[in-house]
Structure 1
Amino acid sequence: MKIWLIISAFMAMLVITASCQNDGQIEFNRFYSNGSVVYQAHCQNCHGAKGEGLQGLIPSLSDSTYLKNNKNTLACQLNGGLKGKITILNKEFEGEMPASKLSPLEIAQVLTYVTNSFGNKLGTVNTDRVNTDLAKCK
């Protein structure tokens, strides 16, 4: 009987601990999950289900270095599109990514998803950051 009491108490502690997420983790989970839906609807057709891109035509989204080095312009690239040459994973791409018609919230969500998928781990991109970055677009 004592063993069942100990096991029950231990299980209750596990459930309580697992359900106690901080606000930052809850926001990340929400943005990541919603970002997955936005990605599937607006980005996956070109960049692929696994962010692999399309051979020499469309770049992969698995280059953490590019994403990290350009984190302050990613919202602008999504919002206004992208033209010209870029180098991703040591491959040069030249073409055009069309402008999106996404809201700042959707941009934050999809950037959270992309920058934390496909081998990337860059944290939450919130709407405040997106709005700040969008205000600096050229």
Structure 2
Amino acid sequence: MKPIIIVLLFALVGIMAVSCESDGDIEFKRYYTAGSLVYQEHCQNCHGKNGEGLSSLMPPLTDSVYLKKNSRQLSCIIQNGSNTLLLVGGKPYNNQMPPANLAPIEIAQVLTFIKNSFGNKQGLVNVNMVNADLKDCK
């Protein structure tokens, strides 16, 4: 009987250790996972499965420097589209991107996914950050 209790005790301790993620970790995983689905539905067709872009037509999403430098404008680009010249990785992209018609939470989710995929590691983008960025759109 005692070996069963010991095994159950170890199993319980193991389950508790796995479930002790911080609220921030859980929030990040929720945004990232939902963002993956938003990306597949709205972005992947032009920007590629692996964020590689589409030749010289659509920019890649693999340039961490561009994403970080233009972080405050990304929400506006997704929400309103873009028809201006973008320099990504030193290459010019001048094709029009249509507005995505996404809710701010979806923009936050997809930005969390993009900014933490394709070699990028830039952390959580939450809905409050997106709402603040959208207020500054020009």
Structure 1 residue 6 displacement after superposition: 6.4
Aligned to 2:100: 100
Aligned to 1:91: 91
Separation (CA, whole Å) in 2 of partners of 1:49 and 1:60:
10
Aligned to 1:54: 54
Separation (CA, whole Å) in 1 of partners of 2:60 and 2:68:
14
SS of the residue 1:20 aligns to = coil
Letter in 1 for 2:36: S
Letter in 2 for 1:50: N
Matches within 5 A, 1:109-128: 109-128=109-128
Aligned to 2:74: 74
Separation (CA, whole Å) in 1 of partners of 2:4 and 2:121:
41
Where do 5+ consecutive residues of structure 2 fail to align? none
Identity of aligned residues (%): 49
Letter in 2 for 1:49: K
Separation (CA, whole Å) in 1 of partners of 2:54 and 2:100:
19
TM-score (norm 2): 0.91
Alpha-carbon deviations, 1:8-41, whole Å to 9, x = none? 6554433211111111111111111111111111
Structure 1 residue 103 displacement after superposition: 0.4
TM-score (norm 1): 0.91
- Relative to total residues, which structure has the larger strand share, 1 or 2? 1
